[in-house]
Structure 1
Amino acid sequence: MVTGSHIPFDRNGIKFNQPAGEVLKSDEPAILDAVVRARSEQYSRGKHQSAFADDGMLKLNEVRMLPPVNERAGKTYLQRYQQFFRGPGLGGQRIVVFEHSMVGRKLLVELLGTLGAEVVPMGRSEQFVAIDTEDISADQVGAIQAMADAASSQVGRVDAVVSTDGDSDRPLVCGVDSTGQVHLFGGDLLGVAVAEYLEADSVSLPISANDAVDLQLAKRGMVATKTRIGSPYVIAAMQQALAAGKRRVVGWEANGGFMVGSDIRCGNRVLKELPTRDAFLPILAALFASIEQGCSVVELFDKFPRRFGKAGLIDGYPQEVSQALVRRFSICSQQQVVEVQYAQGDVNACNGEGCSVQLTATELDQAGRIRYALEGYFHVHDGFGAITKINYIDGVRIHFDNGDIAHVRPSGNAPQLRLYAVADNSDRAGQIVAMGISGSDGILRRMGAALKGG
């Protein structure tokens, strides 16, 4: 598939999928070898023999017309949800679809309509629009509010505004309350709504997710498997759950892209496994769950624990510095320590399997020094409590005794350093991110500067 994703236009490329789902980490070595061979073959050709011009683009005489559009895949995808949800279950719902440039805009409008909703398409663009569902800006929220207001004035009360990112694998769901105010829900919380709707018995998601997920799952006696950030890691965890005998296996990313790892049966209906990020299922599950529970979409999410997540990044942050930063604040151990807990003077550690690890005297001293150093950056004067836990599954995720969470993580494929924050209110989560990434004196830049200074 060649389409824009959630990133800026000049960084988009080609996305590959296999017939059975996404490309996994185990597939990458062979793919990279093939890329090296293909490049070597192309670079060895002379200027006149190559199909490419000096700027890297295909020569005009090499450009070929695209084949006719094949609608079969789109129809099959719609049938997947038309058969499982079955209309007119959304009857009486008025839903704004923010179309922008998303590849699935036509399908989403058609699907919601066939399931009974009154659909109001708005915001269509013929130019690429970058929508990152993990980092919706205040301006974008304002634009969504303006769409809801315009739709309300034109056709009456609006129940929700929905959309996806550019390649339609990350959902965007906003409920609209009785006053017309738009409420945006994070993808990690959307995932909980889907998991509960499907009555999942196994959940896997990245370590960066809002801990409201854990609190909500705990009500059902469930513990989520946490992975590194990236759908291939979530899929690998789902495969392990299947091997362990789980029957209703799901997973999702913090951006809301949802994966179904096993067939899910609800009466005589079956939702077939689809182990690749999907945006339509979270949208539908949230809408149908609210209807079946007799509440609005806003009221559905109000039932979840009141924890709020924000994320931000520093662009142009050298990868070697960000990687060194993670090493600086990690336990140097041969025991694969992924979490350290600090409680009443004791230090406890565990590995990736959740098993307790006995730290040596040197490692205990290192753990204490790491905590002391981090509390020098995430200071009590800035509202942070004492550090109670540090997780190293992917980056450095710091838990404080006042409920704050700050998660520092280098990008895996770009010169960016990300900061994820979770707190008891939205303003505090935003404040943590702002303190982390703002200007030359932000927390992350000061941490990097200290490394460079020795």
Structure 2
Amino acid sequence: MVRKFFGTDGIRGRTNAGVMTAATAMRVGQAAGRHFLRGEHRHRVVIGKDTRLSGYMMESALVAGFTSVGMDVTMTGPLPTPAIALLTREMRADLGVMISASHNPFEDNGIKLFGPDGFKLSDDDELAIEALIEAEQPLAPAAMVGRARRIEDARGRYIHAVKQAVPSDVRFDGLKVVVDCANGAAYQVAPSAIWELGAEVVTLGVDPNGTNINDGVGSTALDAVKDAVVREGADIGIALDGDADRLIVVDEKGQTVDGDQLMALIATRLAEEGTLAGGGVVATVMSNLGLERYLAGQGLTLERTKVGDRHVLARMREGGFNVGGEQSGHMILLDHATTGDGTVAALQVLASLVQSGKPASELLHMFEPVPQLLRNVRYDDGAPLADERVKACIADAEAELMGKGRLVIRASGTEPLIRVMAEGDDAQQVERVVERVCAAVSEAA
């Protein structure tokens, strides 16, 4: 079945256009509600959101959809995506919904769904909901219409939960930490959790106004946190994205530490403690070859999946792994969360920093990355990767890199972009290959 609504991470698009309208959101609520009306108990859905202006509109529409089919709604207000996954499970809800477009600009929004176990929905569930969205759903009798309420202690519940990821004898006293929340969902909870564990916290991106989410701050715009770390003489910088399910770190010198390095750090520490499950790490095809070589040197494996944290998570659950993620900063630590959680990952990194006694620049750069280049080619319509000229160019590039590196070409699941990535030991060769493929894609597009 061709997907019209669900992409690689829920439903996402430009506000008031395409699939991201109030009318569609209401139908999503009705469809998802009907799909999860199972059993005789009173059914409940937990709805959270980030700080986008359109979140109010989408929240109201979803509430209307869910209540109209007889499902009660609990609203949390702005909270990270992993907090909604956590609360869905802890409140014994039938479904969780996060309204967010993650790292995208404020003009976009999205809907992410979690099952009662706190995990993102399976393909089967998404396909079933797809089929229901465009069909008329039976509405609840008047006496069975759902109720809606807001809870005031959701932030405190989440802060308490994430702090459990840190051993009880570890405190962050003496650490000065810059925390950049991207003017997004974690603007209250992430700085509070780190401060409560003893660190001195300098905040960035904690003044959301509805339109400044991810705007010059956060994990996709690192200049602000880099400048603040150096200016403040901080020990480390923590940068989250709009819904706080990903993390990028900056060391005390202002140098970037990406998800690959963080996975290497956490996996190494857990392996030393004897608590690394699965014998390695799960990451995507975009993770650096240097990570794979580093892990192999530690006697650990790197299993690769398609891009998207849901694919990483699926393989982790299937293979019994407890550490996985993406180079872009999604960190999935199944001992502590059911989805990517930037705050939990940040606390793990800070705990390692305290326990090691080393500066971040020494501790966090675990391996030397292989030269890697990623470029995006935007297109308006069509399928550039189906063009025969593009196929031929890709085949030639793969042959040139054979045994020396890797080429990964894919269409973005959230934007009209073709992502072209190559890596290898020869940086000049990598650049030539990427430029050649990008040119072919641009011409076809």
Could you state the TM-score of these two structures normalised by the residue count of structure 2? Answer: 0.65
Matched, 1:374 2:397: yes
1:146 is matched with 227
For residues 235 and 96 of structure 1, the distance between their equivalents in structure 2, rounded to whole angstroms, comes to 29
For residues 120 and 409 of structure 1, the distance between their equivalents in structure 2, rounded to whole angstroms, comes to 38
Matched, 1:172 2:248: yes
Aligned with 1:251: secondary structure? strand
Residue 160 of structure 2, aligned match among 59, 78, 97: 78
Count of residues in correspondence between the two structures: 333
1:29 is matched with 127
Q: Which amino acid aligns with 1:93?
A: L
Q: Which amino acid aligns with 2:122?
A: L
Asked if the contact 2:385/2:391 (under 8 Å) is kept, the reply is no
Output one character per residue of 1:373-392: Cα deviation in whole Å (capped at 9) or x when no partner. 337xx9xxxxxxx4215xxx
Q: Which amino acid aligns with 1:295?
A: K
2:181 is matched with 99
Residue 261 of structure 2, aligned match among 189, 192, 215: 189
1:258 is matched with 331
1:416 is matched with 417
1:91/1:256 CA distance change after superposition, 3 Å: same
- The 5-angstrom pairing of residues 157-168 of structure 1 reads 157-168=233-244
1:225 is matched with 303
1:76/1:98 CA distance change after superposition, 3 Å: closer
For residues 184 and 169 of structure 2, the distance between their equivalents in structure 1, rounded to whole angstroms, comes to 24
Asked if the contact 2:412/2:419 (under 8 Å) is kept, the reply is yes
Aligned with 1:162: secondary structure? strand
Q: Which amino acid aligns with 2:255?
A: H
Measure how far apart 1:149 and its partner are.
4.0
Aligned with 1:105: secondary structure? coil
Q: Which amino acid aligns with 1:28?
A: E
1:413/1:3 CA distance change after superposition, 3 Å: closer
2:340 is matched with 277
- The 5-angstrom pairing of residues 373-412 of structure 1 reads 373-374=396-397, 386-389=400-403, 401=404, 403=405, 405-412=406-413
Aligned with 1:302: secondary structure? coil
2:103 is matched with 6
Output one character per residue of 1:173-225: Cα deviation in whole Å (capped at 9) or x when no partner. 11113xxxx01112222222222233322421111111122112112212211
For residues 370 and 184 of structure 1, the distance between their equivalents in structure 2, rounded to whole angstroms, comes to 30
Aligned with 2:110: secondary structure? coil
Output one character per residue of 1:43-97: Cα deviation in whole Å (capped at 9) or x when no partner. xxxxxxxxxxxxxxxxxxxxxx984343246524533433633365222110011
Q: Which amino acid aligns with 1:286?
A: V
Measure how far apart 1:119 and its partner are.
0.8
1:445 is matched with 439
Asked if the contact 1:102/1:167 (under 8 Å) is kept, the reply is yes
Two-structure CA RMSD over aligned residues (Å): 3.6
Q: Which amino acid aligns with 2:347?
A: L
Q: Which amino acid aligns with 1:374?
A: A
1:323/1:167 CA distance change after superposition, 3 Å: farther
For residues 89 and 307 of structure 1, the distance between their equivalents in structure 2, rounded to whole angstroms, comes to 35
Tell me the percent identity: 22
For residues 230 and 370 of structure 1, the distance between their equivalents in structure 2, rounded to whole angstroms, comes to 22
Q: List runs of 5+ in structure 2 lacking aligned partners.
A: 1-97, 139-146
1:252/1:145 CA distance change after superposition, 3 Å: closer
For residues 118 and 444 of structure 1, the distance between their equivalents in structure 2, rounded to whole angstroms, comes to 45
Q: Which amino acid aligns with 2:343?
A: F
Output one character per residue of 1:349-370: Cα deviation in whole Å (capped at 9) or x when no partner. xxxxxxxxxxxxxxxxxxxx97
Measure how far apart 1:322 and its partner are.
2.4
Matched, 1:17 2:103: no
Asked if the contact 1:129/1:166 (under 8 Å) is kept, the reply is no
Asked if the contact 1:314/1:417 (under 8 Å) is kept, the reply is yes
Measure how far apart 1:228 and its partner are.
0.9
2:291 is matched with 213
1:22/1:162 CA distance change after superposition, 3 Å: same
2:355 is matched with 292
2:58 is matched with none
Asked if the contact 1:102/1:168 (under 8 Å) is kept, the reply is yes
Asked if the contact 2:114/2:120 (under 8 Å) is kept, the reply is yes
Output one character per residue of 1:306-332: Cα deviation in whole Å (capped at 9) or x when no partner. 435443312225352224469935xxx
Could you state the TM-score of these two structures normalised by the residue count of structure 1? Answer: 0.64
- The 5-angstrom pairing of residues 62-77 of structure 1 reads 67-72=149-154, 74-77=156-159
For residues 136 and 424 of structure 1, the distance between their equivalents in structure 2, rounded to whole angstroms, comes to 27
Output one character per residue of 1:126-158: Cα deviation in whole Å (capped at 9) or x when no partner. 23445499x967xx33322332244x2xxxx21
Q: Which amino acid aligns with 2:361?
A: V
Matched, 1:198 2:296: no
For residues 215 and 288 of structure 2, the distance between their equivalents in structure 1, rounded to whole angstroms, comes to 17
2:5 is matched with none
Matched, 1:238 2:316: yes
Matched, 1:301 2:379: no
Output one character per residue of 1:330-357: Cα deviation in whole Å (capped at 9) or x when no partner. xxxxxxxxxxxxxxxxxxxxxxxxxxxx
2:375 is matched with 312
Q: Which amino acid aligns with 1:160?
A: I
1:66/1:9 CA distance change after superposition, 3 Å: farther
Whichever of the two has the greater Rg, that structure is 1
Measure how far apart 1:237 and its partner are.
1.0
Aligned with 2:171: secondary structure? coil
Q: Which amino acid aligns with 2:358?
A: C
Asked if the contact 1:215/1:305 (under 8 Å) is kept, the reply is no
Aligned with 1:259: secondary structure? strand
Q: Which amino acid aligns with 2:286?
A: S
1:74/1:17 CA distance change after superposition, 3 Å: farther
For residues 438 and 215 of structure 2, the distance between their equivalents in structure 1, rounded to whole angstroms, comes to 22
